[in-house]
Structure 1
Amino acid sequence: MKKREISKEAIKKTVAISQEIEGYQPAPKPLQEKAKILMAKYHVKISA
């Protein structure tokens, strides 16, 4: 079986479409920074 090559552009496009469908919105930078501080402080992982 031959491994199919998927371009990075195709992956980005697919991810963008799926995020659009789910109503995903990127978190503003200050919120991401706060999350990093919290993760470091409490040794937990937050997926945002």
Structure 2
Amino acid sequence: MNLFDLLAQSDWTRAARFWILVAAGLAAWESAVLFLRALNARLMKGSDDV
């Protein structure tokens, strides 16, 4: 068993992958919300970009 097999079978790597997936999901959600806010501000001509 080499180091890569040991790391692949470790439980902490599964937890780390889970939290990386959670962080990526939150980043995608935040990006979508900010994109929709920017799109809404562009469609409403009188809005302020503050």
TM-score tier after normalising by the smaller chain length: 0.3 to 0.5
Question: Which one has the largest radius of gyration?
Answer: 2
Instruction: Tell me which of the two structures has the higher relative contact order, counting C-alpha pairs closer than 8 angstroms and 6 or more residues apart.
Output: 1
Structure with a larger share of its residues in helix: 2
Query: With structure 2 as the length reference, what TM-score do the two structures score?
Result: 0.37
